[in-house]
Amino acid sequence: MKHIDNNPSTPGKCKMEKSSYSRPRLHYSLAKLTFWSFVFIGSIFFLFFRSPSSSSPVPSDLSRRSLRTRSYAGPAWEKRVRTSAKIRSRNGISVLVTGAAGFVGTHVSTALKRRGDGVLGLDNFNDYYDPSLKRARQAHLERTGVYIVEGDINDVALLKKLFNIVPFTHVMHLAAQAGVRYAMENPSSYVHSNIAGLVSVLEVCKSVNPQPAIVWSSSSSVYGLNTKVPFTERDRTDQPASLYAATKKAGEEIAHTYNHIYGLSITGLRFFTVYGPWGRPDMAYFFFTRDILKGKPIPIFEAANHGTVARDFTYIDDIVKGCLAALDTAEKSTGSGGKKKRPAQLRVYNLGNTSPVPVSNLVSILERLLKVKAKRLIMKLPRNGDVQFTHANISLAQNELGYKPTTDLQTGLKKFVHWYLRYDGATGGVGYGSGGKVFVLVLVGSGSGVDGCLVVVVQAVIGG
């Protein structure tokens, strides 16, 4: 049987055969293509323009939705932005606070607003930890007059729009993916937020006119495996012990680059184990408190040869004072239109308490405040990014910022526990306090979450 080969015998040439059926087949193909094109286009229009009532259910948790799809337009929205960012004191500044619904962001935004500065928040309300806590912080900020735009720092178009509405004099960049251990589960989130997000913010800042001064949150984690204590800003930071630390170190190098090329005034703040009311649930002092009250065992890590694990715990009010001092002493950026005109200010400071405390002592303080004995579970310090100790030398911040922490761990934890018992009771649980007090949630009104109802905390005393 003769083999039939339809391929041309000579490469690059095609043998054409005339056929009486060629024209009808062409007409048929065109008709078929036209038909399916109309079907495809019609489907697109149907999916795009169909009413919300006929669409698939939309997740109620806004933090899980793509924030790039949200609409930021209209006179009402722009009015909220301008009102929140309006300066109300003679020498006030206008500040864009990223990560405003976060722990430090909430406190910094509140402090700025109370002294008459213009403040606009930006936060994506992600679900790294329970977004309901962030929503509660948002409600708190709204009561002080701070509006939080729900968006992502990687949304450059949104950032540009905000700067078009408000000529911010300063940016307090606190948005970041926090936590050391979570990097082992979701490493890409750290690159997305701490590196790409920082670049997005700096890109917009270097392009606007006038350029704002920038203060941003680095971390004590950049000191990594250093054994020399206390840590000073001149110590080496090229031995990160975690991906989180590596992204913060990368951020400091990126900040140097934008300062050098574009004339941005940039100040980095290396926070040391911040704690206090409205804190993060993934921090030891927070979940120790929760688990002690629930009677659950809490892990107490120890280093090799029964070495002590200690942290330079720094109360949130002291950190806020350092943040505001950094903003107030920040010089103006020196670039215009993305071009540097002269050298600009570049600074890095430690913000710590200078008094490291063993984690076991932290637990003892909580036991006394809660009047509950903790179930301690002694464990070896895991190799997941945690370091044995942190200890800040704050001489530079003291000399140049006037930074002086005043809150010891006993006092700070007392304030935290007081807040925690009220918050835990107001979010659907029962918070047990000292002296047998119990806090019970009562919700009055309609709506969802903290925004839609009045939260009333009723305190009762058990056993007289």
List residues with catalytic annotation.
Answer: 244
Helix (H) or strand (E) holding 245: helix 243-262
Helix (H) or strand (E) holding 162: helix 156-165
Residues paired with 350 in a beta bridge: 270
Residues 6+ apart with CB under 8 A from 3: none
Residues 6+ apart with CB under 8 A from 203: 156
**How far apart, in whole angstroms, are the C-alpha atoms of residue 114 and residue 66?**
32
Residues 6+ apart with CB under 8 A from 110: 140, 141, 144, 146
The runs of H, that is alpha helices, within 274-433 are 284-294, 316-329, 359-370, 395-401, 409-425
For 439, list phi and psi in degrees, rounded to 5: -110, 125
Tokens of 389: 């100790």
Is the CB of residue 333 less than 8 Å from the CB of residue 327? no
**How far apart, in whole angstroms, are the C-alpha atoms of residue 393 and residue 230?**
5
Helix (H) or strand (E) holding 141: helix 131-144
| Largest Cα–Cα separation, the chain | 105
Tokens of 80: 């909220």
Helix (H) or strand (E) holding 197: helix 197-207
* CB burial of residue 59 (10 Å; 0-12, 13-18, 19+): exposed
How many CB atoms sit inside 10 A of residue 280's CB?
18
Q: Provide the pairing of β-strand 170-173 with 213-217.
A: parallel
CA dihedral 54, 126, 184, 222 (to 10 degrees): 160
Tokens of 76: 């009402």
Helix (H) or strand (E) holding 335: strand 335-336
The runs of H, that is alpha helices, within 10-128 are 22-49, 75-85, 103-114
What is the DSSP annotation of 290-322? HHHHHT-EEEEEEBGGGBPPEE--EEHHHHHHH
Is the CB of residue 72 less than 8 Å from the CB of residue 151? yes
Tokens of 22: 């060629």
